[in-house]
Structure 1
Amino acid sequence: MLCIAGTIPEDSFPLVEGEVKLSGEHLRIGSSSVAVNRGTAALLAAAVTAAEVLKQPPPFAYLVGDTGTGKGSGRLYRHMTDVLPHMSFQTITFHYIQPNIHWHKSLHVVIGSLSQRPSLIADAGSMYAAKMSGEALLYDLFTPDVGELAFLADEEAPHPFYTRGFILHEENRVPDLIARAYKHHNAARYLLVKGEKDYLADESGILETVDDPVEEALEAIGGTGDTLTGLVSVMIDAGMNMREAAVAAMQVNRTAGKGAQPTPATQIEEIIRCIPSALRDVLGEEVLKRLRRG
């Protein structure tokens, strides 16, 4: 089963856990609901949609409200440290969670003690926590955009705000940034770099590049990077190997974006509604049957 942990940018949103359902433009977890817009909500909506097509269980989520103070994130870390020994997940994706080095280390002590180690994926603030605590190598996949990659590549920056200016956030610098992140042990086993072109890399360098289809309007739509992380999480949990899953997720995300016929006014839920047809187009019937059989 896939577990997704993250925050909702509302201080009043409670700490909740459970299987996630998608109802119209809202996610539902128990008695709580949240609008699908961007961030962890968009990631979860993409994951729920993909899991349904692949006939996988809906993702199990741990969510809490946090508008940047870190209080909710601290509660989430503490709660997961308590409950993970009693759960069984094949894959855990950590998303928007404020970095807390103490609780990040404590959580990984718990994960390291589990009888079966899950695949570990991190995006957004959870990548920052992994780097800042010196534990990036514990992860199987990071999913940064180019700006986040620049922070991973800066071995001296203690926080993304302090990424040094000479480490440029430019698309044409991606190969150099990848190499630098691995040189200083600030990258997971694989990096899926999201941008104008999407890249999959490991310590040997770039393995795959996906840049088609191209929809310029997607650059203005918040949440498309989050949906990509949701897609790759579901595919890995469904049994695809990391490289196969990353390439397929990059292609599906772009195909869904094209299917939405986007304009700058397009909302992320319109793209998410195109994920089922994009999965069928990209994966094909044979791969879908394999994944559905488990």
Structure 2
Amino acid sequence: MLAIVGTVPDPSLPVVEGSAVLDGDALTTAGRRIPADRGTPALLAAACAASATLDLPAPHAFLVGDQGQGHGSRALFAHLTDTLPDRHIATLVFHYLMPDVMWHDKVLFAVEAMAVRPRLIADAGFMYAAKMSGQAPAYDLFTPDAGELAFLADESAPHPFYTRGFILHGDNDVPDLIRRAYRGGNAARCLLVKGSVDRVADQGGVLHTVDSPCEEAMEAMGGTGDTVAGIAAALVQAGHAVAPAAHLAARANRLAGQLARPNPGSRIIEIIAHIPQALRQAMNGVGQ
């Protein structure tokens, strides 16, 4: 099972879990309809689209409402700590959650208590917590953008707010930031660094780069980094090794953008609608 953990910007949403179904421009899970516009819902919607294309069961969602105060995240962490040891999950993705080192470690201990350890993917807040706890190498894939990579690369920063200013994060600096992140033990086994050039790397350096097709409007769209992470998660669940899955996801995400022909007013769901065709094209080598 592919499971995705994250938050929704709706403080009225309690901890819910269940299979996620993509229905038009929204997700339905545990009887709740949630707009798939950005953040964890966008990642989950992309994973739904990719999973259907790969003939996989629908992803399982663990969700809670949280607008940044952290109350929802802590409730979800407690739920995961209590329930994960008895679950059978092959790929587990953590997304927008309040960075909390204590709760991160409790959740990771619960993961270690599972009968079969899942492959672990982290983005956004939970990736920060993994680095802050010193447990980044326990993860199989991080999916940072260049700014998030700068925090991973700063071996002395205890929090993203304190990333040192001299650690720049333009695209030209990304290979050096990757080296620094691995040298400091602050990176997962594989990185998918999102940007105008997407890079897949491990501790040996950059393995793949993807810079085309390029739709300029996608650069300003919120959610495109979420969708590539969702596609990668589905590919890992389908049995692809992590680095090839990240490479395929980066290509599929760009192809989906090309098929959607977005403009500055486009919504991320318009990209997600093209993921099935884009993923098939990427797997067949179209656009290489």
Q: Which TM-score band (shorter chain)?
A: over 0.9
Q: Aligned partners of 2:25, 2:117: CA distance in 1, in Å?
A: 34
Q: Aligned partners of 2:241, 2:137: CA distance in 1, in Å?
A: 18
Shift of 1:13: 1.4
1:26 aligns with 26
1:195 aligns with 195
2:98 aligns with 98
Q: Aligned partners of 2:244, 2:205: CA distance in 1, in Å?
A: 17
In the alignment, residue 7 of structure 1 is paired with which amino acid?
A: T
Shift of 1:108: 1.0
Structure 1 residue 10 corresponds to structure 2 residue 15: no
In the alignment, residue 204 of structure 2 is paired with which amino acid?
A: S
- What is the correspondence of 1:71-150 to structure 2 with a 5 Å cutoff? 71-150=71-150
**1:75-128 CA distances to partner (integer Å, 9 max, x unpaired)?**
111100111112100000000011111111111111112221100000000110
Is the partner of 1:207 in helix, strand or coil? strand
Q: Aligned partners of 1:60, 1:36: CA distance in 2, in Å?
A: 15
In the alignment, residue 55 of structure 1 is paired with which amino acid?
A: D
**1:39-95 CA distances to partner (integer Å, 9 max, x unpaired)?**
001000000011111110000010001111111111111100111112100000000
Is the partner of 1:58 in helix, strand or coil? coil
Does the 8 A contact of 2:87 with 2:114 survive in 1? no
- What is the correspondence of 1:40-59 to structure 2 with a 5 Å cutoff? 40-59=40-59
**1:164-191 CA distances to partner (integer Å, 9 max, x unpaired)?**
1000121100011000011110000001
Q: Aligned partners of 2:177, 2:225: CA distance in 1, in Å?
A: 19
2:155 aligns with 155
Q: Aligned partners of 1:162, 1:232: CA distance in 2, in Å?
A: 30
In the alignment, residue 213 of structure 1 is paired with which amino acid?
A: P
**1:245-277 CA distances to partner (integer Å, 9 max, x unpaired)?**
111101000000010011111110000001111
Q: Aligned partners of 1:176, 1:187: CA distance in 2, in Å?
A: 13
In the alignment, residue 144 of structure 1 is paired with which amino acid?
A: P
Structure 1 residue 237 corresponds to structure 2 residue 268: no
**1:155-212 CA distances to partner (integer Å, 9 max, x unpaired)?**
1111111111000121100011000011110000001000000000111111110111
Is the partner of 2:73 in helix, strand or coil? helix
In the alignment, residue 243 of structure 1 is paired with which amino acid?
A: A
1:261 aligns with 261
**RMSD value, Cα:** 1.0
Q: Percent identity?
A: 54
| Larger displacement relative to structure 2 (268-277 or 103-112) | 103-112
Is the partner of 1:196 in helix, strand or coil? coil
Q: Aligned partners of 1:157, 1:116: CA distance in 2, in Å?
A: 33
How many positions carry a matched residue from both structures? 285
2:178 aligns with 178
Q: Aligned partners of 1:231, 1:265: CA distance in 2, in Å?
A: 23
Q: Aligned partners of 1:172, 1:164: CA distance in 2, in Å?
A: 18
| Larger displacement relative to structure 2 (276-285 or 251-260) | 276-285
1:279 aligns with 279
1:165 aligns with 165
2:225 aligns with 225
Q: Aligned partners of 2:126, 2:102: CA distance in 1, in Å?
A: 13
Q: Aligned partners of 1:185, 1:243: CA distance in 2, in Å?
A: 18
Is the partner of 2:284 in helix, strand or coil? helix
Shift of 1:14: 1.6
Deviation >6 Å, runs of 4+: none
In the alignment, residue 237 of structure 1 is paired with which amino acid?
A: Q
Shift of 1:284: 2.6
Q: TM-score, normalised by structure 1?
A: 0.95
Structure 2 residue runs without a partner (length 5+): none
Does the 8 A contact of 2:101 with 2:129 survive in 1? yes
1:37 aligns with 37
Shift of 1:225: 0.3
Q: Aligned partners of 1:203, 1:23: CA distance in 2, in Å?
A: 39
